[in-house]
Structure 1
Amino acid sequence: MTFKLIALAGAAVLLALPVHAAPAPARDAKVWAAAEAARPAQLKLLEQVVNIDSGTGDVEGGRKVAGILGARLKAMGFAVESVKAEADGLPDNTVATLSGTGKGRVLLIGHIDTVFEPGTVAQRPFRMDAEKAYGPGVSDEKGGVVEGVYALQILHDLGFKDFKQVVFLIETSEERGSPGAQGLINRLVADADVELNLEPGDTPDVLTVWRKGATAIHIDVHGRAAHAGIAPQEGRNAATELIHQIAADEIFPKTGDGITFNLTTLKAGTRENIIPEDASATYSLRIREKSDLPKVEAVLQKNARTTVVPDTTVKVWRQERFFPPLASNPGTDALADRAEAIYAGLGKTITRGGNGGASESALAYEGGIPALDGLGPAAGGFHADTEYLLLGSLTPRLYLLTKLIQELGHQPPPRLK
Structure 2
Amino acid sequence: MKNEKLALLEKLVNIDSGSHDKKGVDKIGGILAGLYQSIGFHAEIVEEKEIGNHLILRHPEAENPKIIIIAHMDTVFPEGTAKERPYKTEGNRAYGPGVIDMKASHVMLFYAMKYLTETNNACLRNVELVFNSDEEIGSVHSRALIEKHAKGKNYALIMEPARKDGSVVTERRGSGTYTLTIEGEAAHSGIEPEKGKSAIEELAHKIVKLQQLNDHENGVSVNVGVIEGGTTVNTVSAHAVGHVDVRVSSMEQFRPLEQKMEEVCETPDVEGTRIELTGHLDRPPMVKTEKSKALYELAKEIAEELNIDLKETYTGGGSDASFTASMGVATLDGLGPIGGNAHSDSEYLEIPSLDERLQLFIKLVERLSL
- Whether TM exceeds 0.5 here: the answer is yes
* Counterpart among 7, 20, 23 of residue 57 in structure 1: 20
Q: Does 1:382 align with 2:345?
A: no
Aligned residue runs from structure 1 range 16-31, under 5 A: none
How far residue 296 of structure 1 moved from its aligned partner, in angstroms, is 1.4
How far residue 243 of structure 1 moved from its aligned partner, in angstroms, is 0.9
Q: Does 1:219 align with 2:180?
A: yes
Q: Does 1:267 align with 2:228?
A: yes
**Could you tell me how far apart the structure 2 residues matched to 1:322 and 1:126 are?**
32
Q: Does 1:82 align with 2:82?
A: no
Aligned residue runs from structure 1 range 103-114, under 5 A: 105-114=66-75
**Could you tell me how far apart the structure 2 residues matched to 1:79 and 1:109 are?**
16
Residue range with higher mean Cα deviation, 266-275 or 111-120: 266-275
Aligned residue runs from structure 1 range 40-51, under 5 A: 40-51=3-14
Code of the residue aligned with 2:131 in structure 1: it is I
Distance 1:252 1:382, change over 3 A: farther
The 3-state SS of whatever aligns with 1:271 is coil
Q: Identify unmatched segments of 5+ residues in structure 1.
A: 1-38, 411-417
Aligned residue runs from structure 1 range 205-354, under 5 A: 205-253=166-214, 258-319=219-280, 322-354=282-314
Deviation string for 1:217-255 (max 9, x for gaps)? 211111111122222211101011101111112224486
Q: Does 1:401 align with 2:361?
A: yes
- After TM superposition, the score normalised by the length of structure 2 is 0.95
**Could you tell me how far apart the structure 1 residues matched to 2:250 and 2:18 are?**
29
**Could you tell me how far apart the structure 1 residues matched to 2:273 and 2:62 are?**
66
Distance 1:199 1:254, change over 3 A: farther
Distance 1:187 1:269, change over 3 A: same
Code of the residue aligned with 2:17 in structure 1: it is S
The 3-state SS of whatever aligns with 2:301 is helix
**Could you tell me how far apart the structure 1 residues matched to 2:124 and 2:96 are?**
35
Deviation string for 1:89-126 (max 9, x for gaps)? 11110111114489852211000111111111111111
Distance 1:364 1:280, change over 3 A: same
Code of the residue aligned with 2:151 in structure 1: it is A
Distance 1:101 1:385, change over 3 A: closer
The 3-state SS of whatever aligns with 2:369 is helix
Code of the residue aligned with 1:389 in structure 2: it is L
- Tell me if structure 2 keeps the 8 A contact 1:53–1:119: yes
Q: Does 1:359 align with 2:319?
A: yes
The 3-state SS of whatever aligns with 1:242 is helix
Code of the residue aligned with 2:186 in structure 1: it is A
Aligned twin of 1:71: 34
Distance 1:64 1:381, change over 3 A: same
Distance 1:53 1:368, change over 3 A: same
- Tell me if structure 1 keeps the 8 A contact 2:44–2:56: yes
Q: Does 1:179 align with 2:140?
A: yes
How far residue 160 of structure 1 moved from its aligned partner, in angstroms, is 0.6
* Counterpart among 18, 37, 55 of residue 94 in structure 1: 55
Distance 1:129 1:76, change over 3 A: same
Q: Which has the larger Rg? A: 1
Distance 1:273 1:254, change over 3 A: farther
Aligned twin of 1:17: none
- Tell me if structure 2 keeps the 8 A contact 1:97–1:165: no
- Tell me if structure 1 keeps the 8 A contact 2:306–2:360: no
Identity %: 30
How far residue 256 of structure 1 moved from its aligned partner, in angstroms, is 6.7
Aligned twin of 2:111: 150
* Counterpart among 107, 128, 131 of residue 170 in structure 1: 131
Q: Identify unmatched segments of 5+ residues in structure 2.
A: none
Distance 1:200 1:252, change over 3 A: farther
The 3-state SS of whatever aligns with 1:216 is strand
How far residue 329 of structure 1 moved from its aligned partner, in angstroms, is 0.9
The 3-state SS of whatever aligns with 1:377 is coil
How far residue 199 of structure 1 moved from its aligned partner, in angstroms, is 0.3
- Tell me if structure 2 keeps the 8 A contact 1:206–1:351: yes
- Tell me if structure 2 keeps the 8 A contact 1:257–1:356: no
Code of the residue aligned with 2:43 in structure 1: it is V
How far residue 396 of structure 1 moved from its aligned partner, in angstroms, is 1.2
- Tell me if structure 2 keeps the 8 A contact 1:82–1:95: yes
The 3-state SS of whatever aligns with 2:50 is coil
- Tell me if structure 2 keeps the 8 A contact 1:376–1:397: yes
Distance 1:278 1:103, change over 3 A: closer
Distance 1:293 1:126, change over 3 A: same
How far residue 264 of structure 1 moved from its aligned partner, in angstroms, is 2.2
The 3-state SS of whatever aligns with 1:343 is helix
- Tell me if structure 2 keeps the 8 A contact 1:253–1:259: yes
- After TM superposition, the score normalised by the length of structure 1 is 0.84
Distance 1:162 1:111, change over 3 A: closer
How far residue 210 of structure 1 moved from its aligned partner, in angstroms, is 0.6
Code of the residue aligned with 1:303 in structure 2: it is V
The 3-state SS of whatever aligns with 1:89 is coil
Code of the residue aligned with 1:345 in structure 2: it is E
Report the number of matched residues.
369
- Tell me if structure 1 keeps the 8 A contact 2:211–2:224: no
**Could you tell me how far apart the structure 1 residues matched to 2:208 and 2:199 are?**
14
**Could you tell me how far apart the structure 2 residues matched to 1:195 and 1:171 are?**
15
